[in-house]
């Protein structure tokens, strides 16, 4: 991608000072020496304009190794620099990542540029936060060997990279799989077409009759068969990133919400990926600054891309306002999944209405995030709002009706909570 000049700045205060001294010297004491000094200053000014023109006419191309990357995944940005003008100068180049902080410190790299010679320079980048990162610009620095002037030339061409959240591994997600006729629960084995194999994957404690022995013997590792499906589950997934209007200590919870948002997005990505691996269909709605949806897609990457870019807010749409408009879309083959930071008893009537139209309602409340499964659980001293605990107590009597509410405690992993649900 060819980069164009966006802006140019120069610093030349020492050169102006020399010019002033030379002019005064020649004005008040004309001599051979003052004339020579003035000629020398003129040569410096000629060099100033020549180098600036040289830099403005550089031919810079950029190649980005990927336009999507996961958090902390390294990728390369490669620049090639050439000049059509005579001369040879040592310059410094650095990518200008305005508003984007990479995981590792990016420092400029010096290179020599001359006429007819193409120079390549590489940068290794990674980002510790999800979202859209602007890598459009780069800056060329040139400093005069005598320190009389400096040039900063900004080159750019629009290019952005999407940094995707990390995707956790979860063993299973408790969606409700149903036959086409409402009211009859389908066993998972009935949904696999055992006569058709769509692929294999590494063994992960599945039943022994699913192992593909020939491929396992050939590759030296255990692999299991993945079958096509005769029916799929349909998951309506709502991820609430906003602060609830029912929260009283909004200043405290607004800070908690920022941490919750990242954990909720990480958990949502894991659910989406796991469901697609199992052949289930996911329609995602994110309640953030705006209500955003991804529906009727078989590409789980599109959903993860949306989750990479969304942001919640302290004063935004509420989950109940969105859900009440969506209930009519539920079908007997649907599993309604709601993930939120804070819910109270006021949501129960809405859950009952939703359950009347779908197979299962699953509510996951996550006020303080979840434990990384790499670490052992510790004691949880967190205080949970009484209104939230009341919702959990009242929802227990509705579990037989497939309305399931779970609070993820700070010392629980996400998979531990899912494993509690049959």
43-77 residue pLDDT tens:
999 999 999 999 999 999 999 998 899 988 899 99
Tally of residues, the chain = 422
Is residue 210 predicted with pLDDT exceeding 70? yes
* Whole-number pLDDT of residue 188: 39
pLDDT tens-digit series, residues 2-24: 999 999 999 999 999 999 998 99
Lay out the sheet containing 334-340: strands in order across: 291-294, 281-287, 234-240, 334-340, 360-365, 403-407
Q: Are 71 and 164 in contact (CB under 8 A)?
A: yes
* Whole-number pLDDT of residue 240: 94
- Right CATH for 233-419 from 1.10.150, 3.30.110, 3.30.70, 3.40.50: 3.40.50
333 or 270, greater pLDDT:
270
Is residue 101 predicted with pLDDT exceeding 80? no
- For the chain, the domains span 4-164, 196-230, 233-419
* Whole-number pLDDT of residue 182: 41
Q: Which fold has domain 4-164?
A: Immunoglobulin-like (2.60.40)
pLDDT tens-digit series, residues 289-344: 999 999 888 788 899 999 999 999 998 899 999 999 888 888 888 889 999 999 88
Contacts of 60 (CB under 8 A, 6+ apart): 2, 3, 79, 80, 81, 138, 140, 155
62 or 198, greater pLDDT:
62
* Average pLDDT, integer, range 190-194: 50
Closest CA to 168 of 303, 273, 304, 307: 273
């Amino acid at each position: 991608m060819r980069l164009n000049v966006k802006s140019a700045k120069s610093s030349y205060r020492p050169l102006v000072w020399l010019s002033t001294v030379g002019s005064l010297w020649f004005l008040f004491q004309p001599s051979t020496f003052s004339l020579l000094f003035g000629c020398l200053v003129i040569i410096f000014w000629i060099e100033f304009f020549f180098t600036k023109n040289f830099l403005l006419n550089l031919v810079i191309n950029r190649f980005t190794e990927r336009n999507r990357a996961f958090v902390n995944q390294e990728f390369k940005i490669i620049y090639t620099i050439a000049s059509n003008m005579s001369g040879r100068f040592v310059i410094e180049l650095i990518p200008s990542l305005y508003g984007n902080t990479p995981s590792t410190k990016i420092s400029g790299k010096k290179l020599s540029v001359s006429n007819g010679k193409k120079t390549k320079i590489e940068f290794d980048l990674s980002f510790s936060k999800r979202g859209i990162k602007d890598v459009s610009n780069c800056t060329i620095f040139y400093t005069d060997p005598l320190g009389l002037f400096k040039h900063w030339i900004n080159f750019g061409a629009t290019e952005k990279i999407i940094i995707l959240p990390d995707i956790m591994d979860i063993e299973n997600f408790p969606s409700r799989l149903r036959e086409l006729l409402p009211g009859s629960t389908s066993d998972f084995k009935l949904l696999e077409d055992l006569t058709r194999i769509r692929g294999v994957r590494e063994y992960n404690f599945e039943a022994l009759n699913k192992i593909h022995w020939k491929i396992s013997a050939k590759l030296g590792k255990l692999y299991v068969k993945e079958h096509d499906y005769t029916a799929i589950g349909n998951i309506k997934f709502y991820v609430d990133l906003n602060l609830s209007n029912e929260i009283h200590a909004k200043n405290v919870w607004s800070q908690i919400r920022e941490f919750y948002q990242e954990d909720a997005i990480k958990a949502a990505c894991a659910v989406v990926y796991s469901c697609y691996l199992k052949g289930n269909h996911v329609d995602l709605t994110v309640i953030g600054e705006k209500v955003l949806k991804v529906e009727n897609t078989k590409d789980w990457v599109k959903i993860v891309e949306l989750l990479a870019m969304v942001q919640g807010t302290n004063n935004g749409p509420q989950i109940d306002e969105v859900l009440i408009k969506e209930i009519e879309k539920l079908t007997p083959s649907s599993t309604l999944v709601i993930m939120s930071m804070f819910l109270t008893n006021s949501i129960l009537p809405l859950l009952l209405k939703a359950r009347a139209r779908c197979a299962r309602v699953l509510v996951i409340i996550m006020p303080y995030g979840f434990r990384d499964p790499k670490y052992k659980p510790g004691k949880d001293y967190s205080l949970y709002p009484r209104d939230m605990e009341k919702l959990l107590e009242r929802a227990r009597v509705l579990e037989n009706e497939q309305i399931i509410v779970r609070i993820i405690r700070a010392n629980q992993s996400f998979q531990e909570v899912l494993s509690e649900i049959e």
